[in-house]
Amino acid sequence: MSHKYKFDTLSLHAGQTPDSEFGSRAVPIHQTTSYVFRDTRHAAALYNMEVGGHLYSRISNPTVAVLEQRVAALDDAAAATATSSGMAALFSALLTICSAGDHIVASSQLYGANVNLLKYTLPRFGIHTTFVDPTNHEELKSAITEKTKIFFSEIIGNPGLVILDVDAVAKICQEHSILFMVDGTFNTPYLMAPVKNGVNIIIHSLTKWMGGHGVAIGGVVVDGGNFDWGSTDKFPTISEPHYAMDNINFYEEFGPVAFTAKFRAEAMYNFGPCLAPMNAFHILQGLETLPLRMQRHIENTQELLQFLTSHEQISWVRHPSLPEHPQHELAAEMLPRGAGSIITFGIKGGRDAGKKFIETVTLSSHLANVGDAKTLVIHPASTTHSHIDSQSMLSAGLTDDMIRLSVGLEDISDIISDFEQGLKAASKL
């Protein structure tokens, strides 16, 4: 029997075979805008999607393709297309499916920019979203209308850390013939590859754990290949003749990768959210150590949870692995390797104490990112979620005293020492 490579091996090798000309072991950086055609017939064949290959780096690029194929392998999916950021991935994926008049149902527990895109930007183009509590499946079902095309949610909500019951929601989406799209940034394929659970499209911000080093912004749209576009007439741009390439029918021509074919032919072509080859290279360097880093992220998270839950200055701690988390059992079942390395907590003394803590810690960095190799802290109410309204903040589980902690890879004793002196300073207010 052929040997199917495991996750750790795929993190290092998938998508790449050593360069046949020079034997480069590392992935070469193809820093080029365009590619010389062999002849006019070859050029036409590339434009017509008759053959594989690259014609212009806005559409595809060999270095970026290695990254795409590696992510598709890690997520056990049919295809992946990289974009310039996670937000570019989400926007382009939504617009690949939705047109004016269409409807989206989304979790209320989303990252601030995701909320703003759905709540304010897309309605300007006639695409409206109903936000629901992702744990209330009856509310979710009630929100679905005949115009609904997509249910969208993060698997681990940012920053509320609500866990989506992927199996149950997949069943609802299948029953209503709507696309199940998730943001998998906080789980990464290492903690959960959800195509086998019935997720159809996965969005990742590659900027976070997948890259891990904090040097490159990037995103990716992963196509599970498991949505039956022919089962419903809800998706005419995929399952009926399309304006591009002589009324091509993506569903008939490309089957499981119909979404990706349309994404490549329309979103990459017309919107242009391409990932720079250099950034793809940087992110690939990070991906090589994803499993090792995720193990350490999870170990440090568990140690820090023990420290925080027993510290007298801490008023509350939230993480899906804690027994008091309302979805503790679901998280343990669905994410057996760990429920991520984001912790939220409150400090006695409220907003001022939180501010003092953030300004006093020295090893932990105060910045607007998560998933870096370094430990990061932020006060979401005044930063990442400051531009969303108070009702949406409440729906997202945000409180004024909340501190979001992205646990890094430093020696755990140094992180705890840093926190001890930060909490000591906060206690003196």
Partner 1 sequence: MKLTVNGHSTYISTGGIKPSIDNQAIIFLPGSGQSHLTFVLQTRFFAFEGYDVYAPDFPGHGLSKGNPLETIEEMADWVAGLMAQCNLKSAIIVGHSQGCLVAMSLAHKYPDLAEKLILIAGALQIKVNDHLLDKSNSSLPLAIAMMTEWGHGRQGHFFAASQPGHSLLGIGRELMMANAQDALPADLLACNQFDATNIAAEIEAPVLCILAQDDKMTPVKLGIKMSDTFKNSTCVTIAQSGHMLPIEKPDDVNSSIQKFLN
Q: How far apart are CA 172 and CA 197, in angstroms?
A: 12
Q: How many residues of this chain interact with partner 1, rule: CB under 8 A? A: 54
By beta-carbon proximity to partner 1, the closer residue of 123 and 230 is 230
Examine residue 13 and tell whether it contacts partner 1 (CB under 8 A): yes
318 bridge partner residues? 344
Binding mask 253-292 for partner 1 (x = CB under 8 A): xxxxx--x---x----------------------------
Task: Please give the residues from 142 up to 201 whose contact with partner 1 meets the rule CB under 8 A.
Answer: 195
Cβ-based nearer residue to partner 1, 220 or 407: 220
- Near partner 1 by CB under 8 A: residue from 10, 182, 283, 339: 10
Tokens, residue 378: 């932020």
Q: Retrieve residue 226's tokens.
A: 């498991």
Residue 217, φ and ψ in degrees, nearest 5: -90, 140
Binding mask 209-238 for partner 1 (x = CB under 8 A): ---------------xxx-x-x--------
Least Å distance, CB 14 to partner 1, is 4
Say whether 93 sits in a helix, a strand or coil.
Answer: helix
Nearer to partner 1, 66 or 343 (CB): 66
Helix axes 277-287, 290-309, angle to 10 degrees: 70
CA 172 to chain centre: 22
Q: How far is the CB of 45 from partner 1 (least distance, A)?
A: 6
In whole angstroms, how close is the CB of 146 to partner 1 at the nearest point?
A: 25
DSSP-derived letter for residue 39 is S
Using CA atoms of 46, 47, 50, 52 in order, give the dihedral in degrees to the nearest 10.
40
Whose tokens are 């709540």? That residue is 119
Amino acid at site 213: H
Nearest Cα to 288, choosing from 74, 80, 81, 5?
74
Six token digits for residue 176: 């209503």
Residue 127 in the binding site for partner 1 (CB under 8 A): no
Q: State how far the alpha carbon of 429 is from the alpha carbons of 175, 348, 356, in Å.
A: 55, 10, 8
Out of 49, 244, 314, 363, point to the residue binding partner 1 (CB under 8 A): 49
220, β-bridge pairs: 82, 204
CB of 295 to partner 1, least distance (A): 23
Residues 54-83 that bind partner 1 (CB under 8 A): 54, 60-62, 64-65, 68-70, 72-73, 76-82
Q: Which of 48, 145, 315, 382 binds partner 1 (CB under 8 A)?
A: 48
Residues near partner 1 (CB under 8 A) are 1-5, 10, 13-17, 44-45, 48-54, 60-62, 64-65, 68-70, 72-73, 76-82, 195, 224-226, 228, 230, 245-246, 248, 252-257, 260, 264
